[in-house]
Amino acid sequence: MNELNPAMQLAVDYLESTNTVIFLTGKAGTGKTTFLQNLKHTSKKKLAVAAPTGVAAINAGGMTIHSLFQLPFGPLLPGGNDRPDTHYSQEKKELLNNLELLIIDEISMVRPDVLDQIDLILRNIKESPHPFGGVQLLLIGDLSQLSPIIRDEEWTLLSRYYATPYFFSALAMQKASYVRIELNHIYRQKEQSFVDILNEVRNQQISKESLTLLNARYVPDFRPAANDPYITLTTHNSIAQQVNTEFLEALQGQEFEFAATIRGDFPKDAYPTETRLKLKIGAQVMFVKNDGSAEKLYYNGKIGTVSRIEGNTVFVQCGLENKELLVETTEWTNVKYQLDGEAINESNAGSFAQIPLKLAWAITIHKSQGLTFDKAIIDVSEAFASGQAYVALSRCRTLSGMVLRNPISAHNIIGDPAVIRFNEQAALVTPDAHTLQRDQLLYETYLLGELFNFGVLQTRLKGFEMVLPDLEKDIISVAAKFTKQLKVERSIQAAVYFLDKLTAATESLHQQLPGLIGLSKELAKKADQLIVWLMNRIRLMEYFAQVPFTTASYLEKTKDKAKTHDRSYLKALNAPPNEKLYEQILEWREKAAVKENVMPNMVLSEKAAAAIAEKLPDTLKALSTIKGIGVQKATQYGPDLISLIRAYQNELQSPGTEQVSLF
């Protein structure tokens, strides 16, 4: 998939040059997951990836939706909370405020109330009336696969507001401009007859001929040979566990147990395999991670047999391949997003380290989503949810690689008429070059409005109204009138006007603030935020007072933002004692964490680092008395920390060292 097919290229063009909401769909095996992974590395937008479940989030390399937005798990009724973001930390608010692209994988499993809550949160954080606060959403998934899990009592509440339990019934989706792009080129299956059957199952209209062809794969009492790597896909977890346990116990020989190492924050529902993995030689296993090495010897979903075990190393033989695969402990990370200046970076909130295998005589259909198998035994005779049969059948590469444990009848192919109706309606407005050009112009208008949007200034001015009494009249009111009749050709004239007013306001602010703030850290913090915002907006106005507005130039200029102003009020009031030493200790902490392969706060908390910098302990005993250190850490890290302290003290005592004041 080196070259993008036309549908993928259209999706890329929409992502690069619009903020239109995109529903990227397609049959199983059409490259949706690969597209997501490529986009994470190529997108110029500040993005975050989220998914409805822990397993899906880990597979997508993102966070769960509930973790990213700190949502409760029950029904989220529209209008129930006007400001659900009020309990967010300042860091979380800043992160979401800088977000430009939100990718949600496995969107078929997301309830409409969750999407509406995301819309409400982003509009509040961004202080914008636009759907999702102007953030572009890329919704990836196949509505013919697994649907949202909603209990009857939950749907009793939600059905008052939503026509269906699917994301497209969200109130925000009725207001947002969105396009549906379908990927049609199938990379997983190559047999046309099998592709045709899958299409019929997906559309819930399977013919008698296709059903007959499918049921020809029914083999009563089928038992694969010991060296034949079949995996059973079943509807219930209890059945999968029972099958795996029975097969493992039936094997002769010693049982080996491998314990997982879990550090930091890693949710249990996202564990990729067992915390205590039991294996025997001869056990059928499935890899649960792609090989990160250059050789790419295995992939998530590959089946093999344990051939030998030596210490902490497992050797796996896959099919007729000549060589054994050496498998050692590997690590999964639980991603969290952090703001680094104005960039959104991924950080490791926790990790799960284990042999990347799990017993694979059986697996649930739910956990198989996203995987591909060469040989599978499928049982959907007890299917209870829409999409289960399609997910199970589409995991297989070929029809010949599939065996049915029980015959499939038409009633096992459970679908939802609401999905059919939505797909039919959405197909009527498939985007093309013309709609792309239209949406590019809409995006330009949106960005022009953002340039002259002073709603954030009005919010940040609270507490400082007396300092700038004319701001409402000269800037905010004028901007409100201008944005009602936005025109690119008037952008230079508008920028010149606002540049003059903003410059005068900032100069007045600098002159009056020091006396007003006093020692209030809260006011100092607000003053910093206000002045940084003004400086960034002045920088934009200076540029667009000279050149006409374009989407490309705006996006380029907004990347170059001031982080703090030269005379930071907050920094002057809030600087920790011996700040330089404090920064040195944090730098040492990062290196120690990398060396020990742990989270930095497991080496030393920031609070403990600040206390060390303040008290300057010069012995291990003195260091051990600091809260958060203790005897063990003092013994382990003391020599390094005391060396840093002594070097810092020597530097202070050196001739020519002087303290620099911010004011």
Selection from 436, 443, 435 nearest residue 554 by Cα? 443
Write a three-state SS string for 229-267: CCEEEECCHHHHHHHHHHHHHHCCCCCEEEECEEEECCC
Q: How many CB atoms lie within 10 A of CB 89?
A: 9
Higher pLDDT, 213 or 465: 213
pLDDT digits (tens, 9 = 90+) for 46-62: 889 998 876 677 677 78
Q: How many CB atoms lie within 10 A of CB 311?
A: 7
- Token representation of residue 505: 């306001």
CB of 362 within 8 A of CB of 240?
Answer: yes
Selection from 172, 179, 171 nearest residue 19 by Cα? 179
Residue 269: band (very low, low, confident or very high) from pLDDT cuts 50, 70, 90? confident
Give the pairing of strands 376-378 and 402-404: parallel
Q: How far apart are CA 453 and CA 441, in angstroms?
A: 18
- Within the chain, how many helices (H) and strands (E) appear? 27, 20
Higher pLDDT, 34 or 80: 34
pLDDT at 345 over 80: no
Mean pLDDT value across residues 589-596: 80
CB of 180 within 8 A of CB of 432?
Answer: no
Residue 225: band (very low, low, confident or very high) from pLDDT cuts 50, 70, 90? confident
Q: What is the DSSP string of 21-84?
A: EEEEEESTTSSHHHHHHHHHHH--S-EEEEESSHHHHHHHTSEEHHHHHT--SS---TTS-S-T
What is the predicted pLDDT for the residue at 663?
A: 24
Half-sphere exposure for 34 (CA within 13 Å, toward CB): 17
Q: Which residue do the tokens 């295995």 mark?
A: 298
pLDDT digits (tens, 9 = 90+) for 131-174: 999 999 999 998 887 788 787 888 888 898 999 999 999 999 99
- Token representation of residue 582: 């404090």
Q: How far apart are CA 222 and CA 346, in angstroms?
A: 47
Residue 14: band (very low, low, confident or very high) from pLDDT cuts 50, 70, 90? very high
* Helix or strand run (H / E) with residue 469: none
Phi, psi of 237 (to 5 degrees): -60, -40
- Rg (C-alpha) for the chain, rounded Å, is 29
pLDDT digits (tens, 9 = 90+) for 79-109: 766 788 778 887 788 889 889 999 999 999 8
Mean pLDDT value across residues 576-596: 83
> What's the mean per-residue pLDDT of the chain?
83
Residue type, 471: L
CB of 234 within 8 A of CB of 243?
Answer: yes
Mean pLDDT value across residues 272-278: 93
Higher pLDDT, 76 or 13: 13
Higher pLDDT, 515 or 640: 640
Mean pLDDT value across residues 26-47: 84
Half-sphere exposure for 606 (CA within 13 Å, toward CB): 3
Instruction: Please report the beta strands in 260-404, taking only residues with DSSP state E, as ranges in sequence order.
Output: 261-264, 276-279, 284-287, 303-310, 313-317, 325-327, 330-340, 343-354, 357-359, 362-364, 376-378, 402-404
Mean pLDDT value across residues 249-261: 93
pLDDT at 563 over 60: no
CB of 339 within 8 A of CB of 91?
Answer: yes
What is the predicted pLDDT for the residue at 11?
A: 93
Choose the weakest-confidence range: 96-105, 256-265, 378-387: 378-387
**pTM tops 0.85:** no
What is the predicted pLDDT for the residue at 260?
A: 95
Q: What percent of the chain has pLDDT over 90?
A: 28
Residue 598: band (very low, low, confident or very high) from pLDDT cuts 50, 70, 90? low
What's the start-to-end Cα distance of the chain, in Å? 58
pLDDT at 517 over 60: no
Angle (nearest 5°) at CA 123 between 118 and 124? 100
CB of 187 within 8 A of CB of 148?
Answer: no
Higher pLDDT, 353 or 299: 353
CB of 131 within 8 A of CB of 172?
Answer: yes
What is the predicted pLDDT for the residue at 654?
A: 64
CB of 451 within 8 A of CB of 491?
Answer: yes
